[in-house]
């Protein structure tokens, strides 16, 4: 049972910490965002390889011990549009151990050439599901790097000042701060090395019949754009579902995602199909639908936003990368880290919903049309 929520954020000399207190929760979600906004595509791919090695071997802690601390929930790592995401989920009595575990993962890695190559080749050989492949939008070049270069990358990436730590659960800010201070005291990576490795970005990959509209990034507080995302592509009454799936029978999955990127949120509409997709037909169908939007459309969109953000509907458009957020406890914690990075303020569901409810239908239509008209449209087959 959750009785109240308190959010506090502050800056230490190293990692930035966001603590959200939710009384009654038995477990604590600890999510770390290592920002890579200054990395190029190849460096980000290399960082993904490095991230996978971090969970395999560690100077501080064995894999078995990790599972003992988390009581059977493996720590997670993922590449997101905001940077590298690390997650540890522990019982609330193990807060200190959980923080130490996350710090160990990013501060005391043990990798060698053999492990690097193992993880690199596994990632290179991986075939993502169709939807994730399409969301990803570019092919990867997981590099075969010599040890020194990996070493350089690790020193550049694994640093407390790159880390935003988000802790969510029945814990106090004081407890988190005290525990983290102890942990961070033992994390002294030395000065950040200078230099830049990035090389040419690979072209977009062909991943079947995919149609993507990618809007420009917008201000995190632009309520009309957020509401347009819900009206266009979230839920079974969204325009994409009604027009493209139900009307045209072209797709099973078609949806809007709002990717959080270091430059701000960015709306992405995407369809994947085994059939030919005529972008002009789809565009015209959507445009006509937007023209017909009325108060009921806005009401439904706000309801869907409530459903996603307040009541656990499984179509939350907020995306950290290949797939949308899933409304999990861990995702809530990671959203706080991302929002802190974007706005220097905590995410507030109540404030967001209030601002969405105030958007007029005229503004909603205009926002949706602006997104569609000015979007970067990509079609692959």
Note whether 281 binds other proteins by CB under 8 A. Answer: no
Other beta carbons less than 10 A from residue 343's beta carbon: 13
Residues between 1 and 30 with contacts to other proteins, criterion CB under 8 A: 1-3, 24
Identify the CA nearest to 231 among candidates 311, 326, 299: 299
CA distance 233 to 218: 17
- Pick out residues in 311-330 that bind other proteins (CB under 8 A): 311-315
Using CB under 8 A as the binding rule, the residues of this chain from 194 to 233 that contact other proteins are none
How far apart CA 307 and CA 40 sit, in angstroms, is 36
- Minimum CB separation of residue 119 from other proteins in Å reads 8
Q: Could you tell me how many residues of this chain bind other proteins (CB under 8 A)? A: 50
* Mask for 45-74, x = binds other proteins (CB under 8 A): -------x--xx------xx--x---xxxx
* Binding characters for other proteins, 95-134, by CB under 8 A (x = yes): -----------------------x---xx-xxx-xxx---
| Minimum distance of other proteins from residue 294's CB (angstroms) | 12
Among 65, 92, 306, 378, binds other proteins (CB under 8 A): 306
Between 165 and 168, whose beta carbon lies closer to other proteins?
168
Q: How far is CA 243 from CA 54, 248, 289, in A?
A: 45, 6, 8
* 294 scored as a contact of other proteins (CB under 8 A): no
Residue indicated by tokens 């459903």: 307
> In the complex with other proteins, which residue's Cβ is closer, 121 or 344?
121
- 273 binds other proteins per the rule CB under 8 A: yes
CA–CA separation, 135 and 272 (whole Å)? 10
Q: Tell me the closest approach of the beta carbon of residue 327 to other proteins, in angstroms.
A: 10
Nearer to other proteins, 263 or 354 (CB): 354
CB of 246 to other proteins, least distance (A): 7
Number of neighbours of residue 137 by Cβ within 10 angstroms: 17
- Residue 91 CB, nearest approach to other proteins (Å): 11
* Sheet strands side by side (includes 376-380): 318-319, 254-261, 264-273, 209-217, 376-380
CB of 160 to other proteins, least distance (A): 26
Report the nearest approach of other proteins to the CB of residue 72 (Å). Answer: 4
Residues near 233 by beta carbon (within 8 Å), at least 6 away in sequence:
239, 240, 241, 254, 255, 256, 257, 269, 317
> Is position 345 an interface residue for other proteins (rule: CB under 8 A)?
no
Q: What's the full length of the chain, in residues?
A: 381
CA distance readout (Å), 312 to 38, 117, 322: 34, 40, 20
Nearest CB to other proteins, comparing residues 131 and 293: 131
Nearest-10 crossing angle of helices 223-233, 349-357: 80
Sheet containing 5-11: give its strands across: 5-11, 16-22, 163-169, 27-35, 83-91, 76-80
CB of 178 to other proteins, least distance (A): 28
Residues that bind other proteins (CB under 8 A): 1-3, 24, 52, 55-56, 63-64, 67, 71-74, 118, 122-123, 125-127, 129-131, 235-237, 245-246, 249-253, 272-275, 296, 299-300, 303-304, 306-307, 310-315
């Amino acid at each position: 049972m959750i009785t109240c929520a308190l959010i506090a954020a502050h800056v230490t000399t190293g990692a930035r910490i966001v603590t959200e207190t939710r009384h009654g929760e038995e477990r604590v979600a600890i999510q770390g965002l290592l920002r890579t906004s200054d990395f190029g595509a190849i460096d980000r791919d290399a960082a993904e390889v490095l991230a996978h090695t971090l969970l395999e071997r560690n100077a501080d802690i064995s894999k078995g011990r990790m599972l003992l601390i988390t009581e059977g929930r493996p720590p997670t790592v993922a590449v997101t549009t905001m940077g590298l995401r690390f997650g540890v989920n522990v019982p609330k009595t193990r807060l200190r151990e959980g923080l130490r575990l996350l710090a160990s993962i990013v501060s005391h890695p043990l990798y060698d050439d053999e492990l690097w190559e193992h993880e690199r080749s596994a990632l290179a050989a991986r075939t993502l599901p169709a939807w994730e492949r399409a969301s990803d939008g570019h092919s990867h070049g997981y590099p075969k790097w010599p040890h020194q270069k990996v070493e350089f990358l690790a020193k550049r990436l694994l640093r407390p000042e790159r880390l935003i730590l988000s802790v969510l659960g029945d814990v106090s800010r004081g407890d988190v701060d005290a525990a983290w201070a102890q942990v961070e005291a033992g994390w002294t990576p030395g000065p950040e090395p200078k230099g830049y490795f990035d090389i040419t970005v690979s072209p977009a990959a062909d991943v079947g019949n995919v149609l993507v509209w990618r809007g420009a990034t917008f201000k995190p507080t632009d309520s009309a754009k957020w509401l347009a995302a819900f009206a266009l592509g979230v839920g079974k009454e969204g325009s994409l579902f009604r027009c493209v799936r139900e009307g045209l029978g072209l797709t099973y999955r078609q949806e809007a995602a709002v990717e959080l990127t270091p430059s701000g949120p960015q709306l992405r509409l995407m369809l994947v199909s085994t059939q030919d997709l005529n972008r002009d037909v789809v565009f015209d169908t959507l445009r006509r639908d937007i023209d017909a939007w009325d108060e009921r459309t806005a009401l439904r969109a706000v309801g869907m936003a409530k459903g996603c953000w307040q009541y656990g509907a499984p179509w939350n458009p907020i995306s950290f990368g290949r797939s949308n957020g899933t409304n999990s406890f861990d995702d809530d914690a990671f959203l706080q880290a991302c929002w802190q990075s974007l706005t220097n303020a905590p995410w507030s569901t109540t404030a967001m919903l209030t601002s969405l409810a105030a958007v007029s239908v005229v503004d909603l239509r205009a926002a949706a049309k602006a997104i569609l008209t000015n979007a970067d449209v990509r079609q692959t087959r």
